[in-house]
Amino acid sequence: MMKTPLTKKFTVEEIKERFDQDVERFSNLETGQQAVVDAPIMLELISKLAGGIKPDVVNMLDIGAGAGNNTISILRERPGINCDLIDISAAMLERAKERISQEQVGQVRIFQSDFRDLTLPHSHYDLVIAAAVLHHLRDDEDWESSFKKIYDLLKPSGAFFISDMVHHQHEAIHGAMWERYGKHLESIGGAEYKEKVFDYIDKEDSPRSLSYQMDLMKKVGFKTVDVLHKNSCFAAFVGIK
């Protein structure tokens, strides 16, 4: 359960320092998100549906791109896309560009920045992907302004895919889901690994519920929202402009 208040969470710079030191783990399609329940399923679903929802895709934006796993997975389904990648970690972006250059890709641009601070062209992207990154947003204003910015960046009929940790609004439900997640972590690395992950989640993350985020998608203008997958504290979902 989260104990650290929003005002005491890690800064962007502190989060960046941890990711700078974890490039190797995130550079593997199989193990890059091992702490995420059903990460391979969500990655596959988004990769296959991205082109199905937007078959004429030309331009894609990957927010919190890390070492490029989501972009690579989509390129293998839809080769030749122009890809813009954003991450706060230069080390992650360097590895992502190196790996993506080995795929059949169009123009690749990388931006070392907090997405919220970056100016990008409106109505330019067919796809926006945000995997395991939006849980770093903080208060309601931060969430809404970020979702509105993403909506504005998309072309009409463009798709916004999210896969991320989610909170639960009812305490009993969240407790049960958190317990299930703890068992998942223990199955990977034992009790010590579970406590390590829980510790950095508490210090870094501030996830919102699936229903909160889907309602917010509708509020900022998305015409269609749908759930692709959910298990324990993790979900994949989509908004279509």
Could you write out the DSSP letters of every residue in the chain?
Answer: ---S-GGGSPPHHHHHHHHHT-HHHHT-TTTTTTTSTTHHHHHHHHHHHHHHH-TT--EEEEET-TTSHHHHHHHHHSTT-EEEEEES-HHHHHHHHHHHTTSS-S-EEEEES-GGG----TT-EEEEEEES-GGG--SHHHHHHHHHHHHHHEEEEEEEEEEEE-B-SSHHHHHHHHHHHHHHHHHHHHHHHHHHHHHHHHHH----BHHHHHHHHHHHT-SEEEEEEEETTEEEEEEE-
- 25 versus 41: which is more confidently predicted? 41
The pLDDT, as a whole number, for residue 28 is 59
> What is the chain's length?
241
Among residues 163, 171, 149, which one has the least CA distance to residue 216?
149
Tens-place pLDDT, residues 29-39? 555 577 899 99
pLDDT at 96: 94
Q: What percent of the chain has pLDDT over 70?
A: 93
Q: What is the mean pLDDT of residues 14-27?
A: 66
Q: What is the pLDDT of residues 98-111, one digit of tens each?
A: 999 999 999 999 99
User: Which pLDDT does position 1 carry in this prediction?
Assistant: 57
User: Which pLDDT score is estimated for 27?
Assistant: 54
State residue 20's pLDDT score: 62
Confidence at residue 211, expressed as pLDDT on a 0 to 100 scale: 97
* pLDDT surpassing 60 at residue 209: yes
- Residue 123 pLDDT class (50, 70, 90 cuts): very high
pTM: 0.93
Give me 235's structure tokens.
Answer: 């979900």
Please compute the mean of the pLDDT values over residues 124-141 and round it to a whole number: 97
Output the pLDDT for position 15. 75
- Of 13-22, 38-47, 57-66, 151-160, the one with minimum mean pLDDT is 13-22
**What pLDDT sits at residue 34?**
79
Domains, the chain, in order of start with CATH, read 6-240 (3.40.50.150)
Q: What mean pLDDT is predicted for residues 14-35? A: 65
Mean pLDDT within 175-193: 94
Mean pLDDT of 34-58: 93
Q: Answer yes or no: is pLDDT of 7 > 80.
A: no
Examine the pLDDT at 78 and tell me if it is beyond 80.
Answer: yes
